[in-house]
Structure 1
Amino acid sequence: MTISSAYIHIPFCQQICHYCDFTKFFYNERLADEYLDALYQEIHTYIPQEKAKVRTIFVGGGTPTVVTHKQLEKLLTMIDEHFDVSTCEEYTFEANPGDLDMEKVKLLKSYGVNRISLGVQVFDDEMLEKIGRVHRVKDVYTNIDRLMQVGLTNISIDLMYALPGQTVEGFEKTVDEAMQFGLPHYSSYSLQIEPKTVFYQRYKKGTLVKPPEDDEAEMYELLQRKLTANGVNQYEISNFAKPGFESKHNLTYWNNDYYYGIGAGSHGYMPGKRTINIRPLPAYVKQAMENGRPILHEESVGLKEQMEEEMFLGLRKASGVSLVGFERKFGRTLNEVFKGAVPNLKQRNLLIETEGNVRLTERGKLLGNEVFQEFLLDS
């Protein structure tokens, strides 16, 4: 059994963004101390003895860097105690611009963190305020400068489009400014209005209006065009990288490989099962401290589900799904399993078959959900 990655969730934020539906809570120093103790128990239950060798570690949130220096060092120490960081190819921390003072930057670097993912979203102070972000554009410049000073140059930034009041011209300005940094990785997501968010409540009341679908599609195409022209290639529906800087951790998900999911609300994938952890903070802490297994739900993943997920996840990648790889993994050809799905999608110009792979066309990327439906198997 090879578990290639670990995702560790830190659910605290200084402020809750209006669009966010991840497991998150307002930062409180006492609660964060209790949470880190519980997190230690959960990690120790998975890895009680010698350090686990994993290819990637991703510490996400929430905002992992919102904690105090002492708490951040405690977190880094417990990760170092349980995982062989020296052999880890990619060790990522998410951060909000403005959270990273020089002391925290040096601390991350000293514990082997080699990649930073910054939640920039837009280069527009007025828009940042509208979507509930606490940082401002100047903070992005300050934090990237600090990271560069200590040699943490493998930086990714997140951008958002189809935000309320956002125009194609406004998003183009954001992309142009983002490109000026010459970073190796960019992620970009359209706004999804999720239940239990501020934006959802406004949407239900009719006070929130997204840009027209045509504008959203134009923003996405603009993003693809500008990044590709600058040598930052699209390797997944929402992700772009210079050659060699594709996110190894995210490829764990899209390659349907196994990973630990640790922390409140985290999802994990182990041989034969997927797990979802308890979300509410007090319940997570209580269960983790009692037995180190704060699992809310565990479901078996049979052959049918594995084959469906291979397609849903694999087709997100620009390279698509390998026909030979599918047959090697499942002992049956892709066309045997999904019958007429591929010819049908090729005819509709949503899928293309090249060099032994099936992958989404440009139109298919815009209509991904229509494609994925074709790879649902009958029970």
Structure 2
Amino acid sequence: MEYEEAGLPAEPSTPFNSGDSEEHVMSEVHLGCPPRSSGPHISCFTFPIPPGTKRHSGADVEFEGASTCPEISLDGDGDLVLPRRSKPSNSSSGVTIQHNILSSIPNVGLQVWKAELALADFVLHRMFTSSDFDRIISLELGAGTGLVGILIARVAKTVFLTDHGVEILDNCTTNVHLNSMTFSNNQTSVYVRELDWKKSWPPIVGVDKFPSENRYAWSPSEIEVAQEASLLLAADVVYSEDLTDALFNTIEKLMSRGSEKVLYLALEKRYNFSLNDLDIVANGYSHFLSYLRRESVDDAECMELEDGLLPCFVGKRIDLAQIPQYVREYERGNDVEIWQIKYVSS
């Protein structure tokens, strides 16, 4: 197996004054946890495995090695202490995630956010009820802790976890290693790679043997594989208009190359008081919607030109009432949405 995050992480939902000059924030997922302005924390996110779950092969879905999250701790030097594997159970599973409870705004990708867990529910439901994700190539944009991609790795062929910033990428790599036993039998290749949406795709490649300061650079062969990804994933990446513009610029380049792709994007609508509107509005969400044409009976509402259709993104909101909440450690609420997005080029 190969262990090696695109985009920037999500907007914080809870400001926190840590006493220093830099504002720190806390995800609602961690409210009630002891505040910690620095240092990692280990959490186990658990979910039941529906009895009699089958895939197209007729075999039970296997989540060996993740039936219960092991009690992982840090030694005096801050290194992970890993216990022996426990005997798997057939009724429940989980994913072990190292994360921060507090972070500065540029490093909110070190935390776990609500839409990330909602997307995990969606992914688990598809894995439990279909073979759609079996042996696929998947790329996650703004992967943060890597939780969703690590779940996909249990059935996928290749997974790219992409984000921006060495600290976030290092933490994501740690989580891949923490959960490697859950996809080792599937022989999944998992890569953690740097992807800055404000730069062009494909990214600049590294040399054959990456120097330590460039360990998250891409190789030419990895870019070729990533462009054949059929599944793109993103969670908690919609909040800033500039970054949303950069996100869709990157998505357009990805979706117009290689194999046909579909993006599943989870977001949480975040509201602020606007002086222009004199009302509480979700401007980030509205800007996101401005990129989408709603899916219709005719498949797309893109503008027709003389020689075809104007390229556009076609979006359909997933009915979350039809997606069970498998992950136990959060409250989904009413402001979380998941969108299926396709790119129509002609």
Pick the TM interval, shorter chain: 0.3 to 0.5
- Find the structure with the greater CA-based Rg: 1
Greater RCO, CA 8 A, separation 6+: 2
Which structure's residues are more often helix, by fraction? Answer: 1
TM-score, scaled relative to structure 2: 0.33
TM-score, scaled relative to structure 1: 0.31
